[in-house]
Structure 1
Amino acid sequence: MVISDIGKAKSCLARIGYYRLSAYWFPFRKSQQVIDAATGLPATQVLDDFQDGTDFPTILGLYVFDKKLRMIVLDALERIEIALRTEIALLLGQHGAWAHRDPQVLHGNFARRNKKGATFTPHQEWLDRLDDKFRRSKEDFAKHFKARYSSSDPPIWIAVELLDFGALSHFYAGMTIADQDTIAARYGLSAGKAFEAWLRCLNDVRNICAHHSRLWNKPLVAQPRWPALGAIPDLDHLDGDIHGQTRLYAALAIMRCMLKVVNPSSSWGQRLVEHLDTMPANPILSLKSAGFPTNWRTEALWA
């Protein structure tokens, strides 16, 4: 790796850490094809040398680019999370103020069936975590409720304010199929199970951002279900594109689709595109590594 300013490189390594930065220079390492001794199949072996032209400023630029990207992504996820809280509260509230505590209005696998070897149902475990958050909460709304209604549990429209994205997506998966489908339909999906997969995907992305991990070209662990061709026209350009559907681009496209429902006037898509144009230029990596199709900027989704 070309390091023209040794002092700056040492300072960056001391501030950021060798292994955090190494995630950004990993794709720049040379590789060779070998035969795996265990399977007898071809495999790629990553070497310790870098490809020609690799320099430290490019690596640092990718790190800063990814840091700013995480901030933009968290902005979208915050809006989506708040909207989802409200949608769940309004829908469940039709079943009763404490519907989130009532096993009879939730999915049986969540509220009435124990996992093998478990003492409590998933619903009971979820409620325990919620109640603990409420007891420990220092938020004004929680303190007010505890002072005024000391013998009561908070109703659904208060309880949702205590849920982070993970707990929210977990609860969505525990709602009845009919209620899941009702919320999913708002985003153009006919099946709640597909929307559940979307939420799992976005929750993983949120966790990556919250823990300051590399985001931009990381494969999606929880991969979203892709709608049928024509169901959501803005996503049709990824139909059959397995690489695009399993990398960051898929999550960004889903966020953009959801924001068009939650906040149609949002400039988030434009801000994202403008930031992506600042990716450090280099001959080895491009946005294609993160699943971006060749002509993605011309798609109606980003207009």
Structure 2
Amino acid sequence: MPTPNTAKPFLPYSEQLALLKKRGLIVPDETYALAVLKKTNYYRLSAYSLTLRKDDVFYENVAFDDIMELYNFDSEFRKLICEYTGYVEISARAYIAYFHSQKYGPLGYLDTTKFDSEWKHAYFMDKLNTYLERSKDAFVIHHREDRNRVYPLWVAIEVATFDMVSKLYKNLLPNDRAAIAKKYYGISSRECIENWLQCAVVARNVAAHGGRFYNRVGLNPAVKLSPKHQKEFSGTRPFGYVYAIYKLLPEDRKLSMLNDISKLFRKHPFALPKHLGFPENWQELIIE
């Protein structure tokens, strides 16, 4: 780690703006630019200029508003990711709860033999019980006080986080994972569903914490893709994660996701799809 005498010096807002101008950025409205810098970390904002400069020198005619256009695009892109991963989370809860309860009964999820790993099941149950005890939701209080803390899976799973739901699916018995993958997602690969759910969780976390998608590389884990798709787009770029989210969506949400993303690119033409890993024929690829 850098020592204090090697760290970059602190710069007041006015000097941050002066540095941007020195590097060739056009700033027509300095009052506006300073207001943005005051509420947005300089380092965070500068990340959106990476495609607009080389070696810390801005390309000709690049303005502060161009950076803000990318920043605002990314903000709206995050909202879409949050919205559609929300649909993925809700449906995954429903699928798992219905399938498992139908096969093993409403309390079958308490039986460790109905899961792949005993210790992973124990860890899940420990977290789940903590959330159930803390919950102030009326449906949980009802089962806590009037049902002697007996929670059917379709009740208990509603307090689980998206990450917990993803890990719950991954710890189901292999045949159960495969059955859910086929019945609800229409594919035979349980490994894909495991991976895609994990990627959807990561995408949700990036979006929820204000992380950057534009010009981002190296998302982890890589989205599991067919050999054909591996040649057409990257599983570690934002489009790969969009692909995974789309594949997990209920059928009645898929078209709206495609339309919303298309509208967003039309609204912000300065934001280039290639900087999120979107191929030119991304809509055709995603619906294959």
Please report the TM-score for the alignment, with normalisation by the length of structure 1: 0.80
- What does residue 7 of structure 1 align with? 31
Offset of residue 70 of structure 1: 1.0
How many percent of aligned residue pairs carry the same amino acid? 28
- Report if aligned partners of 1:58, 1:280 keep a CA contact under 8 Å in 2: no
Structure 2: 5+ residue stretches without partners: 1-24
Q: Which amino acid aligns with 2:272?
A: S
- What does residue 72 of structure 1 align with? 80
Higher relative helix content: 2
- Report if aligned partners of 2:33, 2:64 keep a CA contact under 8 Å in 1: yes
Mapped pair 1:258 → 2:240? no
The 1:240–1:188 alpha-carbon spacing in structure 2 relative to 1, beyond 3 Å, is farther
Q: Which amino acid aligns with 2:264?
A: H
Mapped pair 1:125 → 2:123? yes
Distance (whole Å) between structure 2 residues aligned to residue 25 and residue 264 of structure 1:
33
Mapped pair 1:19 → 2:43? yes
- Report if aligned partners of 1:100, 1:156 keep a CA contact under 8 Å in 2: yes
Q: Which amino acid aligns with 1:104?
A: T
Mapped pair 1:160 → 2:150? no
Offset of residue 83 of structure 1: 0.6
- Report if aligned partners of 1:172, 1:196 keep a CA contact under 8 Å in 2: yes
Q: Which amino acid aligns with 2:185?
A: Y
Q: Which amino acid aligns with 1:127?
A: M
The 1:300–1:198 alpha-carbon spacing in structure 2 relative to 1, beyond 3 Å, is closer
- What does residue 233 of structure 1 align with? none
- What does residue 268 of structure 1 align with? 257
- Report if aligned partners of 2:89, 2:162 keep a CA contact under 8 Å in 1: yes
- Report if aligned partners of 1:62, 1:280 keep a CA contact under 8 Å in 2: no
- Report if aligned partners of 1:77, 1:255 keep a CA contact under 8 Å in 2: yes
- The correspondence of residues 72-151 of structure 1 with structure 2, limited to 5 A, is 72-93=80-101, 94-107=103-116, 110-111=117-118, 121-150=119-148
Distance (whole Å) between structure 2 residues aligned to residue 266 and residue 287 of structure 1:
19
Q: Which amino acid aligns with 1:80?
A: V
- Report if aligned partners of 2:196, 2:245 keep a CA contact under 8 Å in 1: no
The 1:275–1:302 alpha-carbon spacing in structure 2 relative to 1, beyond 3 Å, is farther
- What does residue 180 of structure 1 align with? 177
Distance (whole Å) between structure 1 residues aligned to residue 58 and residue 235 of structure 2:
29
- What does residue 44 of structure 1 align with? none
Distance (whole Å) between structure 2 residues aligned to residue 139 and residue 266 of structure 1:
33
Distance (whole Å) between structure 1 residues aligned to residue 67 and residue 178 of structure 2:
44
Structure 1: 5+ residue stretches without partners: 31-46, 112-120, 230-237
- Report if aligned partners of 1:130, 1:162 keep a CA contact under 8 Å in 2: yes
Offset of residue 103 of structure 1: 0.9
- What does residue 6 of structure 2 align with? none
Cα shift readout 1:237-278 (whole Å, capped 9, x = no counterpart): x3522x43321112212322333x442675232122111222
Mapped pair 1:221 → 2:228? no
- The correspondence of residues 47-58 of structure 1 with structure 2, limited to 5 A, is 47-58=55-66
- What does residue 17 of structure 2 align with? none
**Which secondary structure state, in structure 1, belongs to the residue aligned with residue 56 of structure 2?**
strand
- What does residue 36 of structure 1 align with? none
Q: Which amino acid aligns with 1:268?
A: M
- Report if aligned partners of 1:61, 1:280 keep a CA contact under 8 Å in 2: no
Distance (whole Å) between structure 1 residues aligned to residue 175 and residue 193 of structure 2:
13
Distance (whole Å) between structure 2 residues aligned to residue 262 and residue 101 of structure 1:
31
Which moved further from structure 2: 163-172 or 16-25?
Answer: 16-25
- What does residue 40 of structure 1 align with? none
Please report the TM-score for the alignment, with normalisation by the length of structure 2: 0.84
Distance (whole Å) between structure 1 residues aligned to residue 154 and residue 113 of structure 2:
19
Distance (whole Å) between structure 1 residues aligned to residue 281 and residue 254 of structure 2:
24
